[in-house]
Amino acid sequence: MFIRENRSRMKSKKSCKEWISILVLSIVILGPVNGYATVTHFGIDGLNGKEPIEIHADSLEIRYKEGIAIFNGNVSVMQNERLLRTSKLVIYYNKAHLTDDINQLRTKSVFPGKIGSTDIKKIEALGEVYIKIATQTATGDKAIFDGQLSMIILTGNNVVLTDGNNVAKGCTLTANVKTGKASLEGCKISGKKNRVSIILESSSKNGR
């Protein structure tokens, strides 16, 4: 009896980790994945498909010398069903491609280049970050999409990942989109890490 219970717990922990990895990479990349095995095939340029990516904001500031574009106020990035909302969006460009990309931003308000390509090095979403694709959402205070390191980091006092009735809560979400590895860490309280909270809907409710 003990062996069966122990195996059941191990299986449950494994399924939780797999679910988090799938959810993390599918939400934060803003592109769906169909299974755990396909996660490693996703690149950080998941924002870039055939459909145009539109950016809307209250203001746009260009800093040519620094090679960055800053969108301020009610920022939204949309591509088909995919949505990213934040208070501030900072795009770090390769300076050699900055002029053409900025001209495209000014005239068309569409997203030029690919994250991690020769055009865009990194993107930072700052303040009230909300990411949605289909039934999956992720929220936090700050998101970093680093194309050069192929890393995605979502942080905040309450990072929440949801997929239907499945919910995971923590404070630091880290994902390597090349290896498919993702981790969710709890918040630090009085110098100690708090536990991660995960709620998984019973498979019997889904008819499985």
**pLDDT one-digit tens code per residue, 82-94:** 889 999 999 888 7
Residue 3, number of CB atoms within 10 A of its CB: 7
Query: In which residue ranges of the chain is pLDDT below 50?
Result: 1-12, 14, 28-48, 107-118, 208
At 96, list the tokens. Answer: 């050699």
Residue 169, CA distances (Å) to 43, 51, 64, 110, 112 in order: 25, 32, 38, 33, 33
| Structural domains for the chain | 2-199 (2.60.450.10)
Residue 155, number of CB atoms within 10 A of its CB: 17
- Name the phi and psi angles at 40, rounded to 5: -70, -15
